[in-house]
Amino acid sequence: MQAYRGCMDLLSALEDIEKRTSSTIGVTDTSPFPQEEHRLVDRVSGGLHGGLAFTYARPEIAARPARSFPWASSIVAAAVPYLRDGDGEADGRTVARFADGDRYGDLRAVLEEIDAALRVGGNRTEIVWDDRRLIDRAVAVRAGIAWPGKSTMVLTPGTGPWILLGSVVTDAVLPVSAPMRRTCGTCDECIPACPTDAIVSAGVLDARRCISAVLQRRGTIDMKLREAIGGRIYGCDECLTACPPGRSSLRARSAGTAVFSPEQVLMASDEDLEPFVEHWYVPSRRMRFVRRNALVALGNTGDESSLELLAGYLGGEDALLACHAAWAIGRIGGAPASAICAAALESETDESIIHELRCAIDASDRGGVYADVLSAPQPFDLEETPR
């Protein structure tokens, strides 16, 4: 390692970046995270990962930085606030705040500044964020820039959970930061705030029920979860908005008026839709999964004026979308909805859609209320399957 005009000068440069960008920056080493590795393995064995890959795919890699970065000595971690005007407290959001536009621009800028400061001294560096080789939240906690919340998010003073995390791995030998002594104490407001009870206990999330995870997966959305999704198309902020440490930051922002509606999604072409979802995780970049989410959202927020749009998807070639369109029609309910489903049932041969149609007719007759139902089968996970 070459010195950056001495270690103190480098630390001073990091402090300057921290102040100018309203970020929180700390340092840890590349030693393993054995508790995090055990936690990931435990979640996978119990099915709580909900099929998600990312750091769950190779816990023995994600929890051991030296495996991926054998040349490194230190990890400089950064927590960057991402709220902006328009993010204030308001109902009716269809997209979680972190995914509404490119919120990662400020994070990239901060990490690039840290990277540049390290490179001035001739140090080797690598910028890492949302990377399966490193557990961002564990690094942030050990680097002293955040404390672990009961929602499994990590929190910073003043900003709470409204942060994006990233790191710069380097061969510079830097003094490590002391971990925060703060905890959530007796506060557990995030737990009952979850619409699907996905936070099963403090610090334990069942990703099979987490709306953010559900809306990113392939296949059929479980019938038992669809109503709780509400009008959401991507992401969920409920555990964040319930978090007291972040409320002042949220309230300091004006409320937005623009809404990315399910109707917009369902009426747009793939080419027109792709720029709006550029920063989302969409399986295989197939817009059908965004449309699937929008069909559920429209079922929860639409009325009889939405039935014509939904009927078009019910009669389309994609069986996955037809299934969710049937559910949405049943959710709106009433005699017109029941008639649409009954007419479709007369000629339908696909068992998955037949199941959805029968449930939808029953729900329509109940005024859009679904009784206890079995989950529909989950075919058509990978490709659009014409009927």
Q: What is the 3-state secondary structure (H, E, C) of the chain?
A: CCCCCCHHHHHHHHHHHHHHHCCEEEEEECCCCHHHHHHHHHHHHCCCCCCCCHHHCCHHHHCCHHHHCCCCCEEEEEEEECCCCEECCCCCCCECHHHCCCCHHHHHHHHHHHHHHHHHCCCCEEEECCCCCCCHHHHHHHCCCCEECCCCCEEECCCECCEEEEEEEECCCCCCCCCCCCCCCCCCCHHHHCCCCCEEECCEECCCCCHHHHCCCCCCCCHHHHHHHCCCCECCCHHHHCCHHHHHHHHCCCECCCCCCHHHHHHCCHHHHHHHHCCCCCHHHCHHHHHHHHHHHHHHHCCHHHHHHHHHHHCCCCHHHHHHHHHHHHHHCCHHHHHHHHHHHHHCCCHHHHHHHHHHHHHHHCCCCCCCCCCCCCCCCCCCCCC
Residue 371 has what pLDDT? 81
Give the pLDDT score at 91: 73
Question: Facing residues of 78 across strands?
Answer: 25, 166
pLDDT at 175 (0 to 100): 94
Report, as residue numbers or ranges, the catalytic residues: 130
pLDDT of residue 1: 33
Looking at residue 387, its pLDDT comes to 55
- So what's the pLDDT on residue 3? 42
Supply the pLDDT for residue 256.
Answer: 80
- Beta bridge partners of residue 87, listed in sequence order: 255
The domains of the chain, with CATH numbers, are 7-82+101-170 (3.40.109), 261-365 (1.25.10.10)
Residues of the chain with pLDDT under 70: 1-6, 258, 373-387
Residue 141 is which amino acid? Answer: V
Q: pLDDT at position 89, please?
A: 84
* pLDDT value at residue 258: 66
For residue 255, which phi and psi values (nearest 5 degrees)? -80, 140
- Rounded to two decimals, the pTM is 0.91
Contact 132, 58 (CB under 8 A): yes
Alpha-carbon distance of 254 to 82, in angstroms, equals 14
pLDDT at residue 360, rounded to an integer: 97
Tokens, residue 262 = 């399910």
